[in-house]
Structure 1
Amino acid sequence: MKVALLSDCYPPRLGGIETQVRDLGRALLAQGHEVHVYTATPGIDEHRGRSWEDDEGVHVHRVTMHVPFGVPVNPRAPKLIRGELAEFDIAHVHMGVIAPFAHDLTKLSLDLGLPTAITWHSVLGQGSLTVLRQLGWAREWAQRGATLTAVSSMAADRVRAAVGDPGIEVGVLPNGISIPDWSLARGRRPDDAPVQIVTALRFALRKRILPLIRMLREVRRRVPEEIPFTATVFGNGPYLAPARALTTAEDRTWLNLAGRVARPVLAQTYADSDLYFAPTRLEAFGIAALEARTAGLPVVALRGSGVEDFITNEENGLLAKDDDALVDAAVRLVTDHHLRHRLREHNLTVPPAQGWDSVVQQSLAEYRRAGARG
């Protein structure tokens, strides 16, 4: 099958959609499909215009132009790639909340009569949900034959509300993970080693960086002094410097805002840690939490987020209704060795359902469904 993955964003830009589109392309390629990515994100050289590169066998077509602040948008893209897009068997569009490039190429794909699958990777907030429903784009795309999915049950509920037609199906097509990359052997730690909390996220407002620091401080305050613990927060973004500026000298004795690290370093850190703390409410999926769960870590997260698709309360993590309950759950795990061990053993012996082999098969099923509808 000749597959076109259409996305505003792609590496070297960093983020969840970028990583997932790249990894999906490689996973499809590994199963014998020809994969092309069309994106408005420039490459490392920042070249603007048309360019092409090989990304470990995936053909990456960059259709870029000069716009303020480097926003990945190109209104000329449909005219530029119309002829070549018509040659594909399927177009898989990857949507964020604001995705002008993906919107334009969705319309082009449907105009060409190409089977089209659309996946939302972001949570539609009330404002964007209302606008999308009033404009009727998603409903129109489905009526013209596109299949609609989102990366989690919660995100799919928001898309259904935006569609506004109960007769139109919105499925779940989850993000994928390379299970062996995160299932590393844990080294033996001293019995008196501090309990290690870890978090990985983008330092952006919607990720709730400042509430995260406040909650970790409360955990530190409530854990008895005889139980030492540390907290490490990985990631980069515009709020990293302000967050570091807000930490006190006392905070820095146990809290480390470590910045961004390579995947192998993060995987090894997970293997040597004790629990993962997920503070985000509007989390469409939570790939970092899934990676931590795959490494064996019990995950502490809020109910009502995409994390609920792979974390079951008291089985492989603890789910909380609000921030206070999230702190309660973290304190419980830090202070209860037997609970941590039980949840960790489950995670180490029961792999998640979102391995790439499974996700590729679900993607191919979606492509076939799009072909039948088209």
Structure 2
Amino acid sequence: MKIGMFTDTYSPQINGVVTSVISFENELMRQGHEVHIFAPRFPGYKDDGNHIHRFPSVDIFFIEGYRLAIPTLWDIMATIRKLKLDIVHSHDPFPLGLVALRVSRAESIPLVHTYHTLYEEYLHYLPRIIRISKKRVERISRIYCDRCDLVLSPSERIRELLIEYGVSSRIEVLPTGVDLHEFQSLLPGGEEEALQKKNEDTRLIYVGRVAKEKNIEFLFDVMDKVRSRVPGVVLRVVGGGPELPHLKRVCQERGLADIVSFSGFVDRKGVVKELRQSDIFVFSSLTETQGLAILEAMATGLPVVAVDAMGASQLIEHGREGFLTGLDVDQFVDHVLKLIRNPSLRQEMGRLARDKAMANSLTHVTGRLLDLYGECIDAAGDRRKNVPRRMVRARSLAETGKGFSKIIWS
């Protein structure tokens, strides 16, 4: 199968969407399929392989590390016709999501879209002069999704939310699975041994983007109370992002620098290493559509304490693989202390967490994705038998986005 993935976030960026795209890309290629990635160009960054198609881009000055693609549709369409894609898969609604929509319509190729992000929770990044309302974001999401043959939701909660938005296209729940190749040493028969902890401290760990919406200061409140009740507990914050300098200052001001440390950006191998050297995974974000970082921590054998929100509630059964709490510091602290004081409980929950993660392997989930691709292709073929193919001339990106511009600014 020939698959074209259009994404506005890709390497060298590090975030959940990039992890999902690359995971599926690698697994699909491992299974013998042809995958082409369409993404913004990053100055000085070179890709491995000629299946990645980069477009000129400009820096988005108000969001650190992000770039806005400026594609030329004439060149894109020439490339697409040479590739003879079977399916188009977009990972955000625009600008490259709009290109995916244009390609789909111009070439009569089915369009699949993954709704990765709760965009209304990220509006604070936009300058006030161009900031739009949450209701308008819902409307944009609905209109884009309704132009797709299939919408993939990372969790059941997101599927329900899209239905509330009024999306009428078919919606299927398909999370990103765990790449077992990265965790091979933790599986029965693995050749490597898990890395040993470097000290005797109980190590809590957060992995993810260091940003305002991740609610990391909540974990500082937790650590402030934990240290007054149990000595030798530390928190490791793994990841980078716009809030990193601010959070480091907060740690200094609150006297937490001796028990809270930051890694900054690390690569995939570095993340696995950090997880293996930890005891408990803690997570307080309220905006996760899936919680892929939680699933990867579970694959490492870590029990989880998380605020009961969309992504976490889909993965953790309270009292089994970990604990779910309200947005309440004392409640969160109580569950962390329960795991710290009971190593056997920590070990048993970690084992159950690993079992659940391994049941959600990337290989299995990718098989389901291929089945869904096939259903979309078959349905499109049936439509073409009954309706004459209508050629759509691709003139410009502005033509594709004209309707969306009216929605955004009207």
1:62 to 54, 59, 75: 54
CA deviations on 1:154-201 (whole Å, 9 max, x unpaired) are 222222222344xx43111211321241354445669x9221111112
Name the CA distance, whole Å, in 1 between partners of 2:355 and 2:146.
Answer: 44
Deviation at residue 253 of structure 1 after TM alignment: 2.1
Is 1:89 the counterpart of 2:86? The answer is yes
Name the CA distance, whole Å, in 1 between partners of 2:108 and 2:150.
Answer: 13
**1:122-201 residue pairs with structure 2 within 5 A?**
122-125=117-120, 130-135=135-140, 136-138=142-144, 140-142=146-148, 146-165=149-168, 168-182=169-183, 183-184=185-186, 185-186=193-194, 193-201=200-208
More off after superposition, 67-76 vs 153-162: 67-76
Identity of aligned residues (%): 24
Give 1:217's aligned residue. Answer: 224
The 1:133/1:276 distance shift into structure 2, 3 A limit, reads closer
Give 1:8's aligned residue. Answer: 8
Deviation at residue 128 of structure 1 after TM alignment: 6.7
The 1:180/1:313 distance shift into structure 2, 3 A limit, reads farther
Is 1:266 the counterpart of 2:271? The answer is yes
1:240 maps to a residue whose letter is L
Give 1:342's aligned residue. Answer: 348
CA RMSD of aligned residues (A): 2.6
Deviation at residue 118 of structure 1 after TM alignment: 0.8
Give 1:291's aligned residue. Answer: 296
- Whether the aligned pair in 2 keeps the contact of 1:124 and 1:158 (CA below 8 Å) is no
Is 1:308 the counterpart of 2:313? The answer is yes
Q: Secondary structure at the match of 1:4?
A: strand
Give 1:205's aligned residue. Answer: 212
- Alignment gaps of 5+ in structure 1: 47-52
Q: Secondary structure at the match of 2:345?
A: helix
CA deviations on 1:335-365 (whole Å, 9 max, x unpaired) are 2222212102223455433322112112101
Give 1:50's aligned residue. Answer: none
Give 1:234's aligned residue. Answer: 238
Q: Secondary structure at the match of 2:68?
A: coil
Name the CA distance, whole Å, in 2 between partners of 1:117 and 1:219.
Answer: 46
Deviation at residue 71 of structure 1 after TM alignment: 5.3
Give 1:275's aligned residue. Answer: 280
2:42 maps to a residue whose letter is G
The 1:159/1:128 distance shift into structure 2, 3 A limit, reads farther
Is 1:357 the counterpart of 2:352? The answer is no
Q: Secondary structure at the match of 2:204?
A: strand
Name the CA distance, whole Å, in 1 between partners of 2:73 and 2:306.
Answer: 41
Give 2:327's aligned residue. Answer: 322
Q: Secondary structure at the match of 1:73?
A: strand
Deviation at residue 206 of structure 1 after TM alignment: 0.8
Give 1:24's aligned residue. Answer: 24
- Whether the aligned pair in 1 keeps the contact of 2:88 and 2:100 (CA below 8 Å) is no
Name the CA distance, whole Å, in 1 between partners of 2:327 and 2:296.
Answer: 23
Name the CA distance, whole Å, in 2 between partners of 1:326 and 1:45.
Answer: 43
Name the CA distance, whole Å, in 2 between partners of 1:45 and 1:366.
Answer: 37
The 1:304/1:66 distance shift into structure 2, 3 A limit, reads closer
Q: When the two structures are superposed, what TM-score results if normalisation uses the length of structure 2? A: 0.78
The 1:109/1:73 distance shift into structure 2, 3 A limit, reads farther
1:103 to 73, 98, 102: 98
Q: Secondary structure at the match of 2:113?
A: strand
- Alignment gaps of 5+ in structure 2: 122-131, 187-192, 381-410
Q: Secondary structure at the match of 2:302?
A: coil
CA deviations on 1:320-344 (whole Å, 9 max, x unpaired) are 1223332322222222222212102
CA deviations on 1:238-287 (whole Å, 9 max, x unpaired) are 11111111113841222212222232233223223210001101111122
CA deviations on 1:123-148 (whole Å, 9 max, x unpaired) are 24377763255355235314xxx101
Deviation at residue 99 of structure 1 after TM alignment: 3.1
Q: Secondary structure at the match of 2:11?
A: coil
Q: Secondary structure at the match of 2:210?
A: coil
